[in-house]
Structure 1
Amino acid sequence: MTDLLDGRIQRLLDRDEELLACPWPLFDDVRSASDPAFYSEAMGAWVITSYQLLRDIVLDPATWSNRSPTATYEFRNPVAEHARAVEEEPEMAEAVARFRSRSRGRVLNTADPPEHVRQRRALNRAFRPARLRALEPEVKSVSDSLVAAFAQRGRADLVREYAVLLPMVMISRMLGVPEDELEMFKGWSDDFAIPIGRARPSRDEVRSYIKSEYEFDQYFSTLVEQRQAEPRNDLISDVANAEVDGEPLTYEERMGALRQFLLAGNETTTTLLGNIGHRLATNHDLRDRLASSRDLVPAFVEEALRHEGPVTGLFRVATCDTDLGGKPVAKGEFAWLAFAAANRDPEACPMPDAFKIDRDPNDHVAFGYGEHYCIGQGLARLEAKVGTNAMLDLPNVTLANEHTDAFMDSYILRGRTQLLVTFDPTHSPTESDNSPPSQELREHRE
């Protein structure tokens, strides 16, 4: 039984299309085999599907470090072997050297206390509630512009033409970077995701990943210097001038934070919006109920996060010999916290496979838990709320006959790569001063 289960986990690591699309039966079987945790030889980690055990682990950073196996060279790193080979290429030598130096730094989602506490204190201001409230009209305006491009057509790919673009435009505006360079930023963001959930990335993928980090740092280090001299009302200025008790962030902390803001600020929200769109296009009774009762949208978003969250799981590493419910764990062993599985743990959530917008309480862990609770969750919720209402405004939205479900090839980030829908053609929303992104960015994922 254990070998069969581990074989299925290996298939997940190998990005088996069937398991990427529907990992829930696998997680249920892992939960059944867990007492309270299952060690996967294939993953080289304890797989945690228990809601309570997951919360216990994230609340104990002294025992369970947040350092990801892809984040530092001290730990298991699937990028390291290819990086050594790429370093032999003359044009990549400097970029790999910078990457090795960068990889030893720990920022936000790869940092532990006290570094993480200091960084959060310095950067929380960037996502302060007042800024997010002020952003809502702009999010709505960008959304309207995107919908206007396909509203009269009666069909669209809601991933490519909406879910990719809304968070990408907004995080770029918040950073304060030119929108005519969105395609470049999106390319960097896609490359940053290469080691996330790919057990065996190719050498070409690793080369692109390292090259994009190098180009990103060169680009944004100049902007950070400019914002230090002349601050603006944007995220780059917040990062450039952030300090705690008079102590500024280091260069690596600034670059690391900006990289994470770019990646997390669009990839996870894109997957959330795609999942929401699929729900509306396939559950027409729910769609019609929400369309007539928009006050239910926030609760719908929360249940979408619980039921089909964008992040399947993340790693922790044991800092000392410990145990999991009596099972011995050696220092240096990994645990894979399956947030998506914990959100469907029947011990914590009655009828976990049912989608219920009246679920109360709905204490999901889609944004993490404890001190590493997602710093950008307010922005993600805002964009998901605006996006849900925008898709509800498409009359009779339903899956197109030619639609087939296709998912990202990652066992950590779970999201659809297309969502072909049809709807009754509508008049375009009122045009605003926010012009839609370029056609090149719209075609980025084709």
Structure 2
Amino acid sequence: MADFDLFVIGAGSGGVRAARVAAAYGARVGIAEEYKVGGTCVIRGCVPKKLLVYGAHFAEDLDDAAMFGWDIPQKRFDWAVLRDNVLAEVGRIEGAYTETLTSHDVTIFHERAVLTGPNSLNLAGGREVSADKILIATGARPQMPQIEGIEHAISSNEVFHLEELPKRIVIVGGGYIACEFAGIFQEFGSQVVLVNRTDVILRQYDQQLVDRLVQISLRKGIDFKFNATLDRIERRDDGRLHVAMTGCDDIEADAVLFATGRRPNIEDLGLEAAGVELGETCQIKVDADNRSSASSIFAVGDVTDRIQLTPVAIREGQAFADTFFGNKPWQVDYQCVPSAVFSHPPLASVGLTEGEARNRLGSVKVYTSDFRAMKNVLAGRNERSLYKLVVDGATEEIVGLHMIGPDAPEILQAAAIAVKAKLKKADFDATVALHPTMAEELVLMR
């Protein structure tokens, strides 16, 4: 008899969900985590980053407060206070995740686990364990380039632990992580230079909304260096960094942050010994039931490189546990997954972009609302929001919904249900507006 019915490697969002649900069904579950319980999202991703986003919003809110009658005589930001409070909250949530596992009788091993076969593992402390099923949920990590002086740069892992706020920071990348930290540091008062090797950022989002974000970001003072690459980094005697560039002038900075993609964590896991096959991006290849090429070994989350989002990993973990331990088989639907960029202002999207819809459907109708939020009008802030509905011209079904503006991600979560449910433009038109809100624009487009 095996030591466990299920053994999970990695206590991130997907692994914790699978372990908890499988244990609730009565399975004997063990989980190994070599760093901290909670994974990327809780420890060094979504949660601490969103708290920094909240902190950054006060920069503009305090400026706007005067037009609403508030007298704020002094505006001063203390990075150390926010940093330490965020890290304390991360610690609290880590404890809550640990409590969730222990309360469901999941055995936690705070050490590395390595596969020694399709049903066996070796723990760093020397113990050998066996399991009927093994789930790999080790996530992914930031990809760092092999350039001279890379040891002077940081990734999104280290950014939450900076000793002091950089006066000038170079951020390399064109994805959501790069754009989010560009907005955060700009609001904190840093000079931000965003470097991208092409002239396209946020390529999976609707181009019209991306263009709007770039326009607003330029007005805020973010300096974009497109079609540029970073060659090497040198630390000067005064501690500052000299960044040698191709495609633009060299840059002097206090910090360099790389946000150029994430790589699945598959190294030294014993995958070859267990017969687990990898794909082109070094991801664990799995089928629709999250099963790898080894019939007893499964994988969920970023290590499979399907959609690298926390809610997707959680759903995959839930589907795995329901299917193999709850006798309730189902598979994750990867269509119409909503996503957001917590930039300043934030951007949110679900379904097909206008370009994708035209390529796929041919006949497309597009409805937009381009407006200034009421709060921005009174504050004298010339920053416009843009909402966009992409509609199948043949069926009138809404196939895409895209927004940029205050609270766009909060609004989109509910609106995404309508896109998932294949509602038509007429269903939006028939819904009474909730006034005065920004969200009412969704049902007023004609």
TM-score interval for Structure 1 and Structure 2 normalised by the shorter chain: under 0.3
TM-score, normalisation: structure 2: 0.26
Which protein, 1 or 2, shows the higher relative CO under an 8 Å CA cutoff with sep ≥ 6?
Answer: 1
Which has the greater radius of gyration? 2
User: Which structure has more helix as a fraction of its residues?
Assistant: 1
| Structure-1-length-normalised TM-score | 0.26
